[in-house]
Amino acid sequence: MNSIDIVLLIAYSISLICALLLMAALYLYFRRRFRARVVSLFMLAAFFFLGAYTVKMAVALWIRFSSTSGTEAMLGPLQSKIWAIAQTGTTLGLVILTLLIYTRRQDLFVVLSQIRKGRNRHADSHTGPK
C-alpha cells in the first residue's frame, strides 16, 4: 500500500462518516417535517443526492480496500454495477437541485394530505384539532 492509497482511504473514510452524519441529521429533520405534513422539495432532492453520494463513498472505500488487498478481480463487476447505480443517483440528484436553483424554485413545499376517518385533510382546509 503506497501513500496515495493511504491518503485516499483516509479521505474516503472521512467523507463517508460526514455523509452518514448528515444523513442521520436529515432523517431527524424529515421525521419532524413529515409529522407536520409539509416537506421542502429542495431538501428532499438534497437528501436523495446525499444518499447516492453516501453509497458512492462506501463503494469507493470498498474498491480502494479490495484493490490494495488483491480481491479486485472477484468483486470488480459487482463494484462497477453498484458504482454505476450510485453515480446515476448522484447525477439525478444534482440535476434536480440545479433545476430547482436555476428556476428559483428552491422554496417549493409539498403539502402531504392526511387521511383520518375516511376523509382527506389538507394544510389549507383545517386550522386546528377537532
Q: Break the chain into its structural domains and give their ranges.
A: 3-120
Would you state the pLDDT for residue 122?
A: 46
Q: Do the bridges between strand 119-121 and strand 38-40 make them parallel or antiparallel, or are there none, so unpaired? A: unpaired
Would you state the pLDDT for residue 84?
A: 84
Classify the C-alpha dihedral 30-36-37-38 as positive or negative: negative
Q: Which residue has the cell 473514510?
A: 13
Q: Distance (Å, rounded) from C-alpha 30 to C-alpha 27?
A: 5
Give the count of beta carbons closer than 10 Å to the beta carbon of residue 86. 20
* Cβ pair 65, 13 in contact under 8 A: no
pLDDT tens, residue order, the chain (130 aa): 677 778 888 888 888 898 899 889 888 888 888 888 888 888 888 888 888 888 888 888 888 777 766 666 666 777 778 888 888 888 888 888 888 888 877 676 766 665 444 444 444 444 444 4
Q: Distance (Å, rounded) from C-alpha 93 to C-alpha 46?
A: 7
Residues with Cβ within 8 Å of 111's Cβ and at least 6 positions away in sequence, in order, are 37, 38, 122, 123, 124
Give the count of beta carbons closer than 10 Å to the beta carbon of residue 108. 14
What are 111's strand-pairing partners?
Answer: 38
